[in-house]
Amino acid sequence: MDTMNRKLWIQKRKQIANKQERNFRIACRLLPFFKQYPSIGIYLPILGEVDVLEHFGFQLSNQLKDQKDLYGFSKLLSKQQFEAIQWSAPKVESETTMRFYPLDQLEIGAFGILEPKGLKSGQKEVVPSLIVVPLVAFCDGYRKGYGKGYYDRYLQKHPNCLRIGVAFDKQEASFVPEAWDQRLDVIITETRVLHYPRNSETINDEDEQETKKEGL
């Protein structure tokens, strides 16, 4: 998959059906990891990306708000568990730099994406212990993003962060990673939890029977 094909994969992602249900399934598979890590960096979704935010207790407009329990999804985390987590989101600060800041003061930033206000509003940088990473496509633990390299540079600089990519099954592709691409530790889809122990083989926890039964 070369750079020119990214638009096709983004369009393919936008057209995936039953996203509400698929997002919820991915959120359920993220839950055990969220309960283990006190500091979580999570992206604010665009262009049909996996969206698990509402399922963990909040929704976003231009400010963080408590999610009303319309579907019961916010019960994935209790109020106590939700408040115990240090939530943060990425902010692009230059052509090569991205940092994470608390998810409490937001604005439209680089590329028209909602992001924290950062240092100018007095926020202190956060280095999350777990980072949820968006992607356009994935293959064997590697990801294709939007081509700017922000996450690859950040992950290379912070190797101790647990890096979890989230995607829909239909985003699995076949490509050769670039030398600078950073392999993820885990990729979670609506049917699978794929582990990529560093310098080891893939471990695949799959729900094939459930997938066939549910038609997902």
Q: Which residues are catalytic?
A: 143, 152, 181
Distance CA 150, CA 26 (A): 24
Dihedral angle, C-alpha 190, 58, 135, 15, nearest 10 °: 60
**What's the angle, vertex CA 35, arms to CA 166 and CA 54, rounded to 5?**
55
Count CB atoms within 10 A of the CB of residue 198: 8
Alpha helices, H only, 15-100:
19-34, 79-84
List beta partners, residue 86: 39
Task: Give φ, ψ of 98 to 5 degrees.
Answer: -130, 135
For the chain, how many residues are written? 216
Which helix (H) or strand (E) segment is 208 a member of? helix 208-214
E strands present in the chain: 39-42, 58-60, 64-66, 86-92, 98-102, 106-108, 114-116, 130-133, 137-139, 142-144, 162-166, 186-188, 192-195, 203-206
